[in-house]
Amino acid sequence: MNDKITVNRTPMTVLCVDDELDIIHAMKRLLRKRNYNLLFASGGAQALELMQQNDVHLIISDMRMPAMSGAELLERVATSYPNCYRILLTGYTDVESTVSAVNKGEIHRYLQKPWDNKELINSIEEGLEKVRLNIENIYLQKLIKNQNIRLKELNQNLENKVILRTKQIHTALNRIKRNNNATQKVLYNLININPNINSGFANSVSQLSKRIAKHLSLPDDEIGDVTLAGLLCEIGLLGLDTAIYTKPFNELNYNQAQDYFDQTNIAQLVLGPALHLQTVSDIISYQFECYNGGGPNKLLGPQIPKGAKILSVARDYWRYTLGRMTKNNMNEMQVKTEMKKFANIRYDPEILEILFNTDNIVSDEFFEKQILTGALEPGMVLKYNLFNNTHILLLPEGHVFNKVTIAKLVQFEKSQSKLISLIVEEHQIET
């Protein structure tokens, strides 16, 4: 509901000025029944004194008065009390002086004597209404000004609260990110501490998955998910008999093959409590689905998560390369020839196309400048995961080096008696 804002409608003050007592009495008789606060003066000096003592809204003055004419009085009123409405009473012989008074005193209205009562009352009412409107306008302007000041204060407070809340959110997100990175590191190290699992394999799968995802122009969060899924793709092997995953896949019998595929269910159980890794868990769970629907869950190509289809191609590329699919290791051309046979069967043809036709996508050569620990400076950002000789994750990609981590890395390097080289973001390297 829109409420109209109004000012307090108290009686308004009218001052009548005339040196003739009869005129004053006539004014009293005419106006006493009106809702006015009436004041009367016999001359200009007395009128000005009353105006100093009272808030006068309208003044009616006779033109011809001794000592100070009505024109002079209203001229002084116009200067000192510009918001007061001014009416001049004149005789028929005062036309010339009246014109001068209107100009000098900024008279709002003039009436001739003898006046018409109705005309006089209407003039007073019109004048007072203009004054009321002016008062209300001033009041509203003041109200708007105060409201604008208050609104500005509220906006500033809101802005400060938004800034504070944004900082709090960023702090919380950074804390979550650090916790997530720590969780990922623990899970990866858990896998790689098993001497029967080749941790270098998972790292190679992760890097290839990441590059394929980038070529597909996937969002950053999806690239991150498929990269982590590559690192953890074999976490389910921890629940299997070592004999199942330590020999080539084509040498497994039917039951052993089914047990091998069961690693995805084990992975689900391991990762299930980590709700923030749900997408990663899904990628790992569906990595053995076939494009034509022939996988464990019979999902067709469009039903399989994009990340799972990427992981399937990256994983099997290295399985063929390292002799984990067949007894013999294969070179790059042999792997591509073999995997082409299963386009639209096991693998998404779009992803195979990227694998086969993108230069250096599976190369271990990143063509990037490596630096030694001695060249590290605080603020540099690690571009790729850093592993030790047994492929245990030491530092995750994106780690921002400080004096403490640099010192620890140098100390670790000395304990290994072997220099450590690593890659940082290019803009962090001084040329």
Which whole-number Å values give the CA distances from 334 to 252, 331, 364, in the listed order?
22, 5, 18
Please write the tens of the pLDDT for every residue from 209-249: 999 999 999 999 999 999 999 988 888 888 888 878 888 88
Distance CA 169, CA 175 (A): 10
Residue 63, class by beta-carbon neighbours within 10 Å (0-12 exposed, 13-18 middle, 19+ buried)? buried
pLDDT greater at residue 47 or residue 368? 47
pLDDT at 169 over 70: no
Of 80-84, 230-234, 270-274, 321-325, the least confident: 270-274
Distance CA 205, CA 191 (A): 14
Distance CA 263, CA 258 (A): 9
| pLDDT tier, 6 (very low <50, low <70, confident <90, very high otherwise) | very low
Report pLDDT for 266: 87
CB atoms within 10 A of CB 131: 19
- 123-147 average pLDDT score: 89
Between helices 117-192 and 21-31, what is the axis angle to 10°?
A: 50
| pLDDT tier, 170 (very low <50, low <70, confident <90, very high otherwise) | low
- 36-59 average pLDDT score: 94
Nearest one of 80, 19, 79, 69 to 88, comparing CA atoms: 69
Question: With b meaning 16 or more CB within 10 Å and e meaning fewer, what string describes 327-348?
Answer: eeebeeeebbeebeebbeebbb
Of 36-50, 56-70, 240-254, the least confident: 240-254
User: Which pair of tokens denotes residue 272?
Assistant: 């299930």
Q: What is the mean pLDDT of the chain?
A: 83
Instruction: Confirm if 234 and 201 have CB atoms less than 8 A apart.
Output: yes
Walk me through the domains of the chain, giving residue ranges and CATH numbers: 12-138 (3.40.50.2300), 195-365 (1.10.3210.10), 366-431 (3.90.105)
pLDDT greater at residue 387 or residue 80? 80
- 15-27 average pLDDT score: 92
pLDDT at 8 over 60: no
- 339-357 average pLDDT score: 92
State the SS3 of 247-282. Answer: CCHHHCCHHHHHHHHCHHHHHHHHHCCCHHHHHHHH
Distance CA 252, CA 239 (A): 17
| pLDDT tier, 45 (very low <50, low <70, confident <90, very high otherwise) | very high
Distance CA 204, CA 314 (A): 8
Q: By percentage, how much of the chain surpasses pLDDT 90?
A: 33
pLDDT at 368 over 60: no
Report pLDDT for 394: 81
User: Which pair of tokens denotes residue 167?
Assistant: 């900082």
Report pLDDT for 5: 40
Report pLDDT for 178: 57
- 45-74 average pLDDT score: 92
Instruction: Confirm if 57 and 9 have CB atoms less than 8 A apart.
Output: no
pLDDT greater at residue 189 or residue 80? 80
Report pLDDT for 92: 58
Report pLDDT for 100: 66
Instruction: Confirm if 64 and 70 have CB atoms less than 8 A apart.
Output: yes
Instruction: Confirm if 313 and 305 have CB atoms less than 8 A apart.
Output: no
Please write the tens of the pLDDT for every residue from 174-219: 564 555 566 666 666 666 666 667 667 888 898 899 999 999 999 9
pLDDT at 9 over 70: no
Of 90-94, 130-134, 228-232, the least confident: 90-94
Can you count the helices (H) and strands (E) in the chain?
Answer: 15, 9
Most confident of 78-87, 367-376, 395-404: 78-87
- 40-63 average pLDDT score: 94
User: Which pair of tokens denotes residue 391?
Assistant: 């492929």
